[in-house]
Amino acid sequence: MATYEEVFRRSIEDPDSFWGEAAESITWVKKWDKVLDDSNKPFYRWFTGGELNTCYNAIDRHVEAGRGDQAAIIYDSPVTGTVQKITYAEFLDQVSRLAGGLQSLGVTKGDTVVIYMPMVPQALTAMLACARIGAIHSVVFGGFAPKELAVRINDAKPKVMISASCGIEGKKIIEYKPLLDRAIELAEHKPQKCIILKRPQAEAPLAAGRDLDYDELLASSEPADCVTVAATDPLYILYTSGTTGLPKGIVRDNGGHAVALYWTMKNVYGVDPGDVYWAASDVGWVVGHSYIVYAPLLYGCTTIVFEGKPVGTPDAGAFWRVISDHGVRVLFTAPTAFRAIKREDSRGELLKQYDLGGFEALYLAGERTDPDTYQWAADLLQRPVIDHWWQTETAWSIAGNCRGIELLPIKPGSATKPAPGYDVTIVSADNEPVPPNTPGVVTVKLPLPPACLPTLWNDDKRFLESYLDPFPGYYFTGDEGYIDQDGYVFIMGRVDDVINVAGHRLSTGAMEEVIATHQDVAECAVIGAADSFKGQLPVGFVVLKAGVNRDPDELKAELVQMMRDQIGAVASFKQVAVVDRLPKTRSGKILRGTMRKIADGAKYSVPSTIDDPLSLDEIGVALQGIGYPKSE
């Protein structure tokens, strides 16, 4: 069996042969003309000339191979008391009927559909139905506020939207229909139709002429056949935060995506077809797209759709119960989930109630796994705990411990080594590679492997500016880090102003835009301060308008509510400090990086370009007043 080093070296030195061989596992309508098409650098394309259908590869071919009775999905919803198994044959019927329903509404190849759904199997049905007919789906996390949804509607311009009457967060019912209606009202682009899944927990009055009942449409629609698309045609758009506050539409193609994600299931996660694989995430995030939906189904695994939380549904044993009940072989979740479990059940007493005999490994991603959380989980589970690092842009891990190739020694705090296909390079600010153990900017030498973004939706210029122009010849990850003498990758944090709250990338620029609209605020800044539980939490600083004198607690309550209304509870915005001035350079740029270091208790030097050095002292005093830096 080949070693990691052998596999990795081949992937970098001979990508055509490496990925061409991997692509043989996918069913093609027409084989590709070229594995790696570099004719239009830096816009690389994979498998040009090839034709396929992603939905066929994820469902139909498993049924045709005689595995229609295997569970494709296990829906486990402690918040509704539901456990449901859906076989590949049943799933094929549901997906093909919804695809037919979409076609009856005029959705054709190349059209876009926005999906705004909770964690229910119908969310997966909607995604695969779009893929089946060559439509491009864009899933928006159900917790997002109307304004954020409206921005995505305007950019994606969907012909149809698919939503539900509500989502359930713990014990709280969140009605989606009023949020959806408000978003459409705010949006300049108006979808022609909305398909609404009515759940018993909330009513959803349908707008005459626009809205259709999901179940009624499914029952009345004829099954649709798969529509062949080019390997380079878009499969989906997934929006991620940009530093300007305007979200970036990450584009995912069909061919390279199917090839790479299929390859990862065995090589990265070490599972086999038929195994139960669980990514405890949400379909609204990239982890949900890649590892709740596409990769497990492409590979023929059983995937779990979990509508619950690591704690509180009903307790901190929820994950152990799901693993035990359904025979989960691999779990993939965020470090935040394990910090929550650790906080509630630090001695792991609840684990003793369950049989984890078939459970093999825990994978963590979303933010860096701190050594304490790693050690706690490893000691408790007595199984490999693997931290792997990747991004919305890449669809799969840039660095990790590829258990299916060779399980390497684990170094707590490191995401192990670059995954095959990723030539990870640490560079200095002037684009020069740096020696081992030297911090710098984390980049990936071009070309990126299959499944990584080929561009941004309708915005090649921003794609270049955001990812390729900063370090010519390399993909700019936006992260700082170093590679040690053994080739292990250590990610230290973001270099931009996008913060990572419990694995959710959120723009501080978007938060500042919200605060700036408050009638009493003259100026503001938001930074991400380190948090041992959620990775980072936003901290706001406001300068009040001249003559305004406000009670700080009242002002904070108003700003927190504004943030919930316009960004969503996912922002976890709870801390605000009122200051007389913000530290800036002479050119007027707010020194957010320095402010973040003060909040984290890190060493910093006063920038030579600062306009007023005393302003940093004021920030320090203000942070102390709200409990920063934290002593943890």
| Predicted pLDDT of residue 242 | 60
pLDDT level of residue 245 (50, 70, 90 thresholds): low
Q: Which two tokens stand for residue 401?
A: 């411990």
| Predicted pLDDT of residue 367 | 73
Alpha carbons 594 and 500: distance in angstroms, whole number? 18
SS3 state at 235: strand
| Predicted pLDDT of residue 604 | 85
Q: Does the pLDDT of residue 384 top 80, yes or no?
A: yes
Q: Which of 145, 231, 151, 132 lies closest to 180, judged by CA?
A: 145
State phi, psi for 557 to the nearest 5 degrees. Answer: -60, -40
Whether the Cβ atoms of residue 35 and residue 20 lie closer than 8 Å to each other = yes
Q: Does the pLDDT of residue 609 top 60, yes or no?
A: no
Domain boundaries, the chain: 4-308+388-477, 499-625
Alpha carbons 571 and 63: distance in angstroms, whole number? 42
> Is the model more confident about 613 or about 20?
20
Q: Does the pLDDT of residue 496 top 80, yes or no?
A: no
| Predicted pLDDT of residue 474 | 97
Q: Which of 55, 57, 59, 85 lies closest to 71, judged by CA?
A: 85
Provide the CATH topology of domain 4-308+388-477.
Rossmann fold (3.40.50)
Q: Does the pLDDT of residue 571 top 90, yes or no?
A: no
| Predicted pLDDT of residue 608 | 53
Q: Does the pLDDT of residue 500 top 90, yes or no?
A: no
Q: Does the pLDDT of residue 98 top 90, yes or no?
A: yes
| Predicted pLDDT of residue 293 | 98
User: What residues are paired with 194 via a beta bridge?
Assistant: 161, 211
> Mean pLDDT across the stretch 256-268?
98
| Predicted pLDDT of residue 84 | 98
Of 8-17, 54-63, 358-367, 501-510, least confident by mean pLDDT is 501-510
Alpha carbons 605 and 424: distance in angstroms, whole number? 29
Of 162-166, 535-539, 588-592, least confident by mean pLDDT is 588-592
pLDDT level of residue 614 (50, 70, 90 thresholds): confident
Q: Does the pLDDT of residue 49 top 80, yes or no?
A: yes
Q: Does the pLDDT of residue 588 top 90, yes or no?
A: no
Q: Which of 30, 50, 559, 512 lies closest to 256, judged by CA?
A: 50
Of 74-78, 408-412, 423-427, 496-500, least confident by mean pLDDT is 496-500
Domain range 499-625, CATH architecture: 2-Layer Sandwich (3.30)
- pLDDT tens per residue, range 410-448: 999 899 999 999 999 999 988 899 999 998 899 999 999
Q: What is the mean pLDDT of the chain?
A: 93
Cα separation values, 379 from 136, 366, 373, 389, 622, Å = 44, 21, 10, 22, 39
> Is the model more confident about 430 or about 48?
48
Alpha carbons 189 and 198: distance in angstroms, whole number? 25
State phi, psi for 572 to the nearest 5 degrees. Answer: 50, 40
Alpha carbons 271 and 301: distance in angstroms, whole number? 8
Mean pLDDT is highest, among 178-192, 515-529, 557-571, 596-610, for 178-192
Mean pLDDT is highest, among 24-28, 370-374, 412-416, 510-514, for 24-28
**Alpha-carbon 215 to chain mean position:** 29
Q: Does the pLDDT of residue 243 top 70, yes or no?
A: no
Q: Does the pLDDT of residue 546 top 90, yes or no?
A: no
| Predicted pLDDT of residue 516 | 84
What pairing do the DSSP bridges indicate for beta strands 417-418 and 397-400? antiparallel
| Predicted pLDDT of residue 586 | 55
pLDDT level of residue 202 (50, 70, 90 thresholds): very high
| Predicted pLDDT of residue 511 | 87
Alpha carbons 272 and 386: distance in angstroms, whole number? 18
| Predicted pLDDT of residue 373 | 85
Q: Does the pLDDT of residue 183 top 80, yes or no?
A: yes
Q: Which two tokens stand for residue 399?
A: 């660095």
- pLDDT tens per residue, range 272-316: 999 999 999 999 999 999 999 999 999 999 999 999 999 999 999
